[in-house]
Amino acid sequence: MSVMRRRLRIAAAAVLAAGVALGSAGCSKKDDEGSTGEGGQVKLVLQTFQNFGYDQAIKDFEAAHPNIKVEHQKMGELRDFQPKLVQWLAAGSGAGDVVGLEEGVLLGYVQNPDKFANLLDLGAGELKANFPEWKWNNAMTPDGKKLIGLGTDVGGLAMCYRKDLFQQAGLPTDRDEVSKRMSTWQDYVALGKQFKASGKVKAAWLDSATSLMQPYVMQNSETFFFDKDNKFIGDTNPVIRQTWDLGLQMAKDGLTAKTQRWSADWDGAFKNSAFATLPCPAWMTEGVIAPKSGPANSGKWDIATIPGGGGNWGGSYLAVPAQTKHPKEAYELAKYLTSKEGHLAAFKEAGAMPSDIAGLDDPAFKDKTSEYFSGAPTGKIFGESVKNMKPVFLGAKHQQVWETIFEPQMQAAERGRLSSDAAWKKAVDEAKKATS
């Protein structure tokens, strides 16, 4: 994971469209001369960010494909990996044989797909029925002729909470009762005020005002920063400003810890029990919260339903860069990792919720509970959260606009460095400039 926020996000679409050859600007760990190993084994490099939960799945794949050896390069945080991947794709070397693409950057690559193999040419058409229609279509070019990725997880939403801190504050701790007490976002804020008013807990209610943006907008809007023509609408989409105001009012009321997410500051807040609640997509449970909170906090976390009743945050894809020397073998790896077996292994290991339909229906997912999260029925909770989910359109520069513009300005307002209105104006002006 990254320890400091990177302000150097490079927009994938802009770089690829311009055809910028950055050459040695970033050095890949990939050993291009080692693509064939001992005994004629094909060596594949898999590059992912955060925790895809693939350790066991890779072992299973290698056992079934003794002619293939997989080197899994875990590239850290998305904001660290993404600019490097853009560079390697533009340079024509350095990218893995299979790479992870997050949904917030996917459209930029779909609009400029030449750097990736067409998975339809490798046989992926037979897999279409395995995925929800929206998940499949997100990785398809508008003309329907090229598929650049296969879906990994979806980010079903819930509310993770520290039941020990709830108990200290005199709040209910049972997950069903907690879910009832925060069925709407207004209820969630009211419960937070009650938590603070108890005066018995040093922890804040929420880690950061910025943590509301993804879940709240994903629940309440069909678009985010861009309309479906990929035009910036961050200043006119009313739900974005509503979320901005809601989060910053919570900060003003003393309900947030004002941490900087995805930083050493945030890591320390987990370990020090600095906040009591966190909107959490499935991938954030075992893949982020558990390792950051550490063994000492096992059994102190639990999971309730998300205020508002459902939604999705995040989710990724596996793609095969055109520069690979082993497209058939790379496709077979991506195919396995996004199969029912691969999805269920990832869910067991990192909480990554399957996007494969058979995986979602399997008892290994539906009946799964989490020891770390007090025995919470994670399969049931996250499965219910996406039942009526409608996909939200994310523009080609969504990740850039959020992580390098809106989120830092919202954080500045939360910490009192700018007024809310001044920070909003600065974010809008910067976003318009970046997307013009």
pLDDT digits (tens, 9 = 90+) for 347-396: 999 999 999 999 999 999 999 999 999 999 999 999 999 877 888 999 99
Q: Note the pLDDT of residue 18.
A: 39
Q: Note the pLDDT of residue 40.
A: 84
Domain ranges of the chain: 26-154+314-361, 158-309+373-435
Res. 244: pLDDT tops 90 = yes
pLDDT digits (tens, 9 = 90+) for 338-351: 999 999 999 999 99
Q: Note the pLDDT of residue 37.
A: 60
Nearest alpha carbon to residue 353 among 222, 158, 73, 178: 158
Contacting residues for 265 by C-beta, under 8 A, at least 6 apart? 259
The answer to whether 91 and 63 have CB atoms below 8 angstroms apart is no
Res. 4: pLDDT tops 60 = no
Nearest alpha carbon to residue 151 among 358, 403, 395: 358
Other beta carbons less than 10 A from residue 436's beta carbon: 6
The dihedral sign for the CA sequence 373, 374, 377, 382: negative
Instruction: Kindly state the tokens that stand for 252.
Output: 């003003």
CATH number of 26-154+314-361, picked from 3.40.190.10, 1.10.3720.10, 3.40.50.1820, 3.30.420.10: 3.40.190.10
Tell how strand 301-305 and strand 157-162 pair up.
antiparallel
Q: Would you call 300 helix, strand, or coil by DSSP? A: coil
Nearest alpha carbon to residue 350 among 278, 285, 271: 285
Res. 137: pLDDT tops 80 = yes
Q: pTM score, two decimals?
A: 0.86
Q: Could you write out the three-class secondary structure of 302-351?
A: EEEECCCCCCECCCEEEECECCCCCHHHHHHHHHHHCCHHHHHHHHHHHC
The answer to whether 161 and 291 have CB atoms below 8 angstroms apart is no
Q: Average pLDDT of 95-118?
A: 95
According to DSSP, the residues that pair with 154 across neighbouring strands are 353
User: Counting Cβ atoms within 10 Å, is residue 426 exposed (0-12), middle (13-18) or buried (19+)?
Assistant: middle
Res. 15: pLDDT tops 80 = no
Q: Would you call 401 helix, strand, or coil by DSSP? A: helix
Contacting residues for 3 by C-beta, under 8 A, at least 6 apart? 263, 264, 267
pLDDT digits (tens, 9 = 90+) for 41-88: 999 999 999 999 999 999 999 999 999 999 999 999 888 999 999 999
Nearest alpha carbon to residue 435 among 283, 232, 242, 236: 232
To which residue do tokens 């906040």 refer?
A: 275
Other beta carbons less than 10 A from residue 3's beta carbon: 13
Q: Note the pLDDT of residue 28.
A: 53
The answer to whether 109 and 116 have CB atoms below 8 angstroms apart is yes
Q: How far apart are the first and last CA of the chain?
A: 31
Q: Note the pLDDT of residue 32.
A: 47
Kindly state the greatest CA–CA separation across the chain.
67
> What amino acid occupies position 88?
W
Q: Note the pLDDT of residue 187.
A: 98
CATH number of 158-309+373-435, picked from 3.40.190.10, 3.40.50.300, 3.90.1150.10, 3.40.50.450: 3.40.190.10
Distances (CA, A) of 95 to 72, 89, 91, 208: 12, 6, 9, 34
What pLDDT band is residue 9 in, cutting at 50, 70 and 90? Answer: very low
Percent of the chain with pLDDT over 90: 87
Nearest alpha carbon to residue 374 among 160, 228, 214, 206: 160
The radius of gyration of the chain from alpha carbons, rounded to an integer in Å, stands at 21
pLDDT digits (tens, 9 = 90+) for 285-318: 999 999 999 999 999 999 999 999 888 898 999 9
Mean pLDDT over the full length of the chain: 91
Does this chain's domain 26-154+314-361 share its CATH topology with 158-309+373-435?
yes
Contacting residues for 126 by C-beta, under 8 A, at least 6 apart? none
